[in-house]
Amino acid sequence: MSDTGRPGPERPAGPPTPPISNWQVAQPTPPTASIPASEPAAPSSPTRASVRENASAEAAPAPPTSERPRWLVPAIIGVVVLVIAAIVIGILVSRSGDDTADGSPAAASTILLPSPTPTVEPVARPATTAFAVALPTSVLQYALATSAVDTEWQAAGAVEAYTETYTDGGAGTVTVRSGQWETPEETNAVAATLMAALPVATTPAPSASSEGPALPQSGEVVTADGTVAGTFSMADAGDGTGVAVWTNGTTIFQVTAPVEDIADVYSAFPL
């Protein structure tokens, strides 16, 4: 029943819904209460997704570093050493080739052979004068075989003179004539006659032996201290022998020897 006493529609049970007016729609929504800054927010409990992400981060391996392999540096050093060695070898080879191309002759080497010695014993010399004793009993491989007075040279004015032969124990022989005069003038006059009788060639030529010296030769006789003591001449006799004549103060020596040995016998003779 309505307030007027007239019957009306029945109202539903429960509190009545107030009507919405325009002013209620226009009213702003009241702000929510903010949490004071002094009170920290309660930590939220980790979710399953965050736990999985953390576990994956811990299990993932660290990214590889950019460190060089240990064998790389020694390998580089070895290559550099090989390159330098190749350059040095190339320089040395090129220099050697240049020297060969220049045609520079190699330095000559001198081989000194021991002087030959006699294989036979020398005989005793009959003469005992000071001049005779000074004469050698051997020269190189030749040993004294005979000794006699040289009467021809004594007739030419020699105070004493000897003709002697030396042997090598075989077919090789050397003949030596030795004489001493009183004055250098007499000595030089006799020596000039002997040298004039030697074979003379306009120009020196090799001897009959390929090992022999170039003959004829002539020059000064010089002692060990550099003093000029006389003159000498050597020639090829043309019969396989060579002849040398020289003076030393007041003495004269004439030697006939195999042509290949004549220069050596002259050089080795002590007077």
**Which residue range is the domain that position 145 belongs to?**
130-268
pLDDT at 53: 54
Query: Residue 40 has what pLDDT?
Result: 47
pLDDT of residue 105: 56
Summarised one tens digit per residue, pLDDT across range 45-71 is 555 555 455 555 555 555 555 556 666
**What was the pLDDT predicted at 64?**
54
Residue 24 included in any domain: no
The predicted-structure confidence for 190-239, as pLDDT tens digits, reads as follows: 999 999 999 875 444 454 444 557 899 999 999 888 999 999 999 999 99
Sorted by sequence, the CB contacts under 8 Å of residue 135 that are 6+ apart come out as: 125, 162, 164, 176, 178, 271
Per-residue model confidence (pLDDT) at position 109: 58
For residue 51, the model assigns a pLDDT of 47
**Residue percentage of the chain with pLDDT more than 70:** 61
Question: Which helix (DSSP H) or strand (DSSP E) does residue 189 occupy?
Answer: helix 184-196
267: phi then psi, degrees, rounded to nearest 5? -70, -30
Give the mean model confidence (pLDDT) for residues 36-48: 49
Burial of 62: CB neighbours in 10 Å, binned 0-12, 13-18, 19+: exposed
Mean pLDDT of 242-254: 97
CA distance 55 to 71: 37
The sign of the CA dihedral 168, 267, 221, 217 is positive
Under the banding of pLDDT at 50, 70 and 90, the label for residue 18 is: low
Q: Is the pLDDT of residue 266 over 70?
A: yes
What pLDDT does 5 receive?
46
- Record the tokens describing residue 96, joined without a space: 């050697």
Tell me whether residue 192 is in a domain: yes
How many structural domains compose the chain? Answer: 1
Can you give the pLDDT at residue 200? 72
- Judged by DSSP in three states, 215 sits in strand
Those residues with Cβ within 8 angstroms of residue 248's Cβ, 6 or more apart along the chain or in another chain: 221, 229, 230, 271
Tell me if 235 is assigned to some domain: yes
Q: Is 100 within the bounds of a domain?
A: no
Q: Distance between CA atoms of 5 and 211, rounded to whole angstroms?
A: 181
Between 107-121, 122-136, 244-258, the lowest mean confidence (pLDDT) is in 107-121
In this structure, is residue 175 part of a structural domain? yes
Residue 37 has pLDDT above 50, yes or no: no
Where residue 33 falls among pLDDT bands split at 50, 70, 90?
very low
- Is a pLDDT exceeding 50 seen at residue 25? no
162 Cβ contact partners less than 8 Å away, ≥ 6 residues apart: 127, 132, 135, 147, 148, 149, 150, 177, 178, 179
The C-alpha atoms of residue 252 and residue 188 are separated, in whole angstroms, by 9
CA distance 143 to 213: 23
The CATH number of whichever domain residue 168 belongs to comes to 3.40.1000
Residue 129: closest CA among 147, 143, 105, 145: 147
Does some domain include residue 15?
no
147 contacts 126 by C-beta, under 8 angstroms:
yes
Residue whose token pair is 């540096």: 73
The reply to whether 57 falls in a domain is no
Contact between residue 222 and residue 231 where contact means Cβ atoms under 8 Å apart: no
Higher pLDDT, 118 or 80: 118
pLDDT at 177 over 90: yes
The residue ranges of DSSP E strands in 141-258, in sequence order, are: 142-149, 160-167, 173-180, 205-206, 214-215, 217-222, 228-236, 241-248, 251-258
